[in-house]
Amino acid sequence: MTLGDASINAVQAKDLPLGGVRVLELGHYVAAPFATRVLADLGAEVIKIEPPRIGDPVRQWGEQQNGRSVWWSVHGRNKKCVTLNIKHPEARPIIEGLIRACDVVIENFRAGHLDRMGYGDDYFRAIKPEIVICHVSGYGQDGPHRNRSSFGVIGEAIGGLRYLTNNPEGTNDLPPVRVGVSIGDSISGLYAAIGILAALLERRPCGRSIDVALTESVLSLLEGALPEYGMFGNIRKPMGGRIPTASPSNAFRTADGGWFIIAANSDQLFERLCGLMGRPELSGDLRFATNQSRCSNSAALEEIITNWSSSLSLTALEQLLLEKDIPGCRVFNVADIAADSQYLFRRMVQEVDDPLLGPVLHPGSVPHFVGSDRRVRWTGPEVGAHNSEIYGQMLGIEETALEGLIDEGVI
């Protein structure tokens, strides 16, 4: 293993909001690294610590090109990657140097894991009192379940989302479906980023400790499910593609086998849809005259709409609703996304040259700041790519000393 030399022509982040903020990531897998990707996209200098040689396990996830994960190109983008065995005694002075140089430290080990290693909040604050510390864990840093193992899927299940992501009860005997991405991890990562931004804005001289739980992050998204249970004892049920509070709003089959979302759930939009279907009398039908009555009779209404939509192609249906200004769209797959003119115009889909992989499609940064062009400053780098820059240039460790640390398995 070499010291690492990131030969990356990095675009400066001075025109981005977080330019000048430095974040130390002690993260792995998805949650904390997702938070730091957001912060890095906004201009923060993120220093990601990984185990020597092997790096973050996500480097091996998903489809591979030349033995390298294509997802890593996005997941690790705009970050400076260094290697460090934080369990090694000689890692401690390096950690201390990094803490002094950073404004934020974020981790997503099991609750209390870093503390047991001697890297608790008190340790960090003794080095730099104003440091912002963000913990992301399955159940939070305290409570009776704090020591339980967890991943994003556990957060989704205990947060109540997995129960709801299914077709209505009695329609099949399949397990509740996953939404298709690591949504529990990503949501907790977003909350971590929000908490960090709030703490940086506050600028307390004694810093802040932030505690983000995957379970709580998911639970916070359940709209009125909890108050409705508390008030009425109602347990919200899986609804498939329907929205329980608005109708019609669902995906409908087309003649060519596609799925098309129709969201004509105000009275005016529904009346317009009825005219488009050649069924103007439906808007006066007592079963469908108001949103509340339509929600109570969704099955009957959706059967009528399906009989109409299934006689039209996806493109024809799309054009008809567009002309009548009724909210509707085809259900996009990733190929649709990559070809979409709106995404391409706003550079939310962009081709980035990854020196390790070649051209790779990346999503743009969110939120978009007017005046910035959503450029990816660099793609996910090799393991230890920035060892020389961070340890040598920033911390001032001489090259011979770094070589010794490599030989001893510290970096």
Tokens of 357: 């992989």
Is the Cβ–Cβ distance between 309 and 321 less than 8 Å? no
Residue 42 Cα distances to 46, 194, 366, 395, angstroms? 11, 12, 8, 24
Determine the Cα–Cα distance for residues 256 and 322; give it in Å rounded to an integer: 19
Is-contact 163 235, C-beta < 8 A? no
Which residues have CB under 8 Å from 283's CB, separation 6+?
267, 270, 271, 274, 289
Distance CA 212, CA 200 (A): 16
Write the CB contacts of 232 (distance below 8 Å, at least 6 apart in sequence): none
Closest CA relative to residue 26, chosen from 119, 130, 140:
119
Backbone angles phi, psi at 229, to 5 degrees: -70, -45
Pairing mode of beta strands 358-363, 349-354: antiparallel
Task: Give the Cα separation of 60 and 67 in Å (integer).
Answer: 8
Eight-state DSSP code of residue 391: I
Q: Out of 185, 336, 340, 353, which one is annotated catalytic?
A: 185
Does the active-site annotation cover 185?
Answer: yes
What would you measure as the largest C-alpha separation in the chain, in angstroms?
84
| Alpha carbon distance 357, 32 (integer Å) | 24
Contact between residue 56 and residue 33 where contact means Cβ atoms under 8 Å apart: yes
Do 97 and 89 contact (CB within 8 A), yes or no?
Answer: no
CB 159 within 8 A of CB 216: yes
Calculate the CA dihedral of residues 402, 404, 407, 411 and round it to 10 degrees.
-30
| Residue that is written with structure tokens 């990131």 in the block | 6
Enzyme catalytic residues? 185
